Amino acid sequence: MLTVLQLPVLNDNYIYLLHDPVSAETAVVDPAVAQPVLDILEQKGWRLTYILNTHHHSDHVGGNSELKQKTGCTVIAALSDQPRIPGFDRGVVDGDVITLGRHSAKVISTPGHTSGHIVYHFADDNLLFCGDTLFVMGCGRLFEGTAEQMWQSLQKLKALPESTQLYCAHEYSQANGRFALTVEPDNRQLQQRMEMINQLRAQHLPTVPSTIEQELATNPFFREDSSALQKTIHKINNRPVDVFTEIRLLKDRF
């Protein structure tokens, strides 16, 4: 079984360490900073094999160079992002598979937040490491891509098995939930989820991981087909991508 350790860093980032105890291979997803990763590696007696980057933003690649220098690990990222990824070693594209011991992850291209954003889906382990494409009750801002690109990217993730555990890169759940309630105020599952999230955050506990099933029920960016949501934002019977675009604009102004 793949071991997953979640490291909260900076203001609201999460770094993920993945370890296969059989092969002793270890990967880190989106190391914003190096030292917390190095500390865990030393504590556990693990050797870092790979860095898996989802995109080029500094709060996802800031630890790349130091980790590569001190561990000799291989840096994997989107081929198109090669000039923007510190320590870049291996480029991947949509559909490629990376292996970590006995475990494998399919690379899924998810442009929108950035042009080269990718996510890593460990299907056999039911794990999705999705960077800034998908959040608990939210999705990434459109810095380099279009609303249509992001909508198409999210359709790929919506189609994954509902039991898939979703490991996103930020603790944004409370703010996302507050917005979600403005566009779907009568969603009882959303109301209940916000109560639980508020309790977790009051104890400084993470609200991540989520599941695709939970997001289908509560994430407005997965719910463009909700008639109640469409009514609230005055987009009844509009094209799904147009409903999504309006939700994204409303969130940007929230």
pLDDT at 71: 97
- Give Cα 170 distance to the centre of its chain: 8
Query: In this predicted model, what pLDDT tens digit does every residue of 58-106 receive, in sequence order?
Result: 999 999 999 999 999 999 999 999 999 999 999 999 999 999 999 999 9
- Domain of 119? 3-253
Candidates 60, 103, 117, 121; catalytic one: 60
Active-site annotation holds for 57? yes
Q: Quick: pLDDT tens for 149-162.
A: 999 999 999 999 99
Q: Residue 143: which pLDDT band, with cuts at 50, 70 and 90?
A: very high
Could you tell me the pTM of the whole model? 0.96
- pLDDT confidence of residue 227: 93
Give 105-141 pLDDT, tens digit per residue: 999 999 999 999 999 999 999 999 999 999 999 999 9
Domain count within the chain: 1
Active-site hit among 19, 20, 30, 57: 57
Q: Is 124 a catalytic residue?
A: no
How far is Cα 147 from Cα 129, in angstroms, rounded to an integer? Answer: 21
Amino acid at 54: T
pLDDT at position 100 is 97
Active site residue 234: no
What pLDDT sits at residue 1?
Answer: 86
DSSP-assigned beta bridge partners for residue 6: 16
Which residue is catalytic, options 20, 30, 55, 103? 55
For residue 186, CA distances in Å to 39, 181, 189, 190, 192 come to: 45, 8, 9, 8, 11
Is position 103 annotated as part of the catalytic site?
no
- Which listed residue (20, 59, 81, 121) is catalytic? 59
159 CB-contact burial (10 Å; exposed 0-12 / middle 13-18 / buried 19+)? exposed
Q: Is 132 a catalytic residue?
A: yes
Using 50, 70 and 90 to split pLDDT, how confident is the model at 237? Answer: confident
Task: Average the pLDDT over 204-217 and give the result.
Answer: 97
Average pLDDT over residues 209-222: 97
pLDDT of 36? 97
Catalytic residue among 19, 103, 113, 117: 113
Query: What per-residue string of b and e applies to 41-69 under the rule 16 or more CB within 10 Å gives b?
Result: beeeebebbbbbbbbbbebbbbbbebbbe
- State the CATH number of the domain containing residue 39: 3.60.15.10
